[in-house]
Structure 1
Amino acid sequence: MFARAARVLAACLALTLAAGAQAQAVLKVTTIPEEAASEQLRKFGPLVKYLERTLGTKVEFVPVNDYPAAVEALVNKQVDLVWFGGFTFVQARLRSGDKVIPIAQREEDTQFRSVFIAQKASGITRLEDLKGRQVSFGSASSTSGHLMPRSFLLQAGIEPERDFKRVAFSGAHDATIASVVSGRVDAAALDITVWRKFVGENKVDTRKVDVFYTTPPYFNYNWSVHADMPAAQREKIQQALLALSADNAEGKEILGLARATRFIPTQASNYQGLEAAGRSAGLIK
């Protein structure tokens, strides 16, 4: 009787361990919510399917509510792979004690830019014209929608809290555009690729709202993982991202949705300039 009970217990334990291993096999992916939730799902759905096939494991996209939540999700290992902006990567690296590793970025992210937009009727044609106006950024943790625009404003001798009539935060790039189009603010700063997407899809009338200033280039977005991920798995994920090519239909769709030519390797040192900008702007203590 005892032997039979032991066998049953062993079988139950084996099933439990197998179920646990199966649960652990799910690769969880998320992104900073720089656009609406529906757009995130549309953009990352094909990538999830590609990674599932390429990695031979179940992949789940797990949306988060805001930029800090994306940082905490990877730092606390609640997800495995995150699409970060450059600044959120810096925040995650610092928050984790240097245990967040960037593995790939778009080729475009080596020379990224932000744009400032305004209603043409406002008469705003240069950064200095923003003084006394209502101006919106994206998320407070956004690289292209806040940190770098603020950094370039400071370099121009413009301090938002002192010089603007009101500083607003829209939370996302698409909401930033909407805030200018609707007249809720006079001008705003955002990711150049989101602006180009909206213009290309005829979602904004450039006869009424357009770019009046484009920033100098800087490093931006990347795919990051936690340092505790096994090296072999990290390498496999990186190679899957680097292998994406516009020469086939699947790769063309995924890269098009990512607004990317291709993904290339990256490293933490590429984002040192963003950390310096964050400290200079008082966004990193």
Structure 2
Amino acid sequence: MNEQEFAELAAGAALDALSPDDQQRYHAALVANPQWQAIADDDVDTAGMLASGATPVVPGPGIRAALLARIAETPQDGRAIVSDSIPDTLPESNSAGAEDSADAEDSSSVADELESDDLAPGDPRAAATPKAPPHRLRILFTLAACLALLVGVGIGAVAVNDYLNRPASVIALQDIQAAGDAQQASVPLEGGGTATAHWSASLGTSVLVTDGVPSLADGETYELWYVRGETPISAGVFDADGGEATAVLAGDMHAGDVIAVTVEQAGGSPSGSPTTDPVVVIPTA
């Protein structure tokens, strides 16, 4: 990942608009390139400045209940409630004529209103000209308010959905970084990449972040290990997408464990022990 690609991800992260996959790429790139932290910080400051320019609006506590109640009482057969004083139904013999008459009156009112705008002040015709029914404006304002509410709810739902659907590895990494005893260590990879282990002894959790790890042949996978003394303990498998991966190690980490990675057959070592030399070795002591 180059600096321009990271800058695009950083802008999305500042707006909380990254997909789970992009969040994973963003964190991995930031870990592998700590000098890019300034880019991320600038984007966060810019997003905060833009947000501070908007006047905060706190919806009333009853707005949701009122909206749901209105939806519940609104007919679902195409009829519209214009006013509580208008009955839901009209006599069948007059309903068609009433609708035609109402349409004609509305059209006449709109035309008269347009004509009255052209009359000079003081013209007696202006005072006698009927205006458009005020309920039309109320309906327009109501629709606009509902649209704004629904748009706000939709944006909030996307943000909440993205937050709730974060990958387990990203959640674990964020938990580790928030821990008071968070530690990390990096080692170079063959071919110029890096592997960084993050861990917290108090949480008993560790995460491996790779950038530039070589792609494997079909039928192969990377397997994680805790090496405790002389005993390797499998901690799960992972695949690298485009050379990048963020993988949480399964099981509890113990103080002094060595985090290692080997190349195994798909699904992991069938014997439960490494079958190849490790390509990553990171001591945590």
- Whether these two folds match at TM > 0.5 is no
The interval holding the TM-score normalised by the smaller chain is: under 0.3
Q: Which has the higher helix share?
A: 1
Q: Which has the higher contact order (CA 8 A, sep 6+)?
A: 1
**TM-score normalised by length of structure 1:** 0.23
**TM-score normalised by length of structure 2:** 0.23
Structure 1 or 2, whichever has the larger Rg, is 2
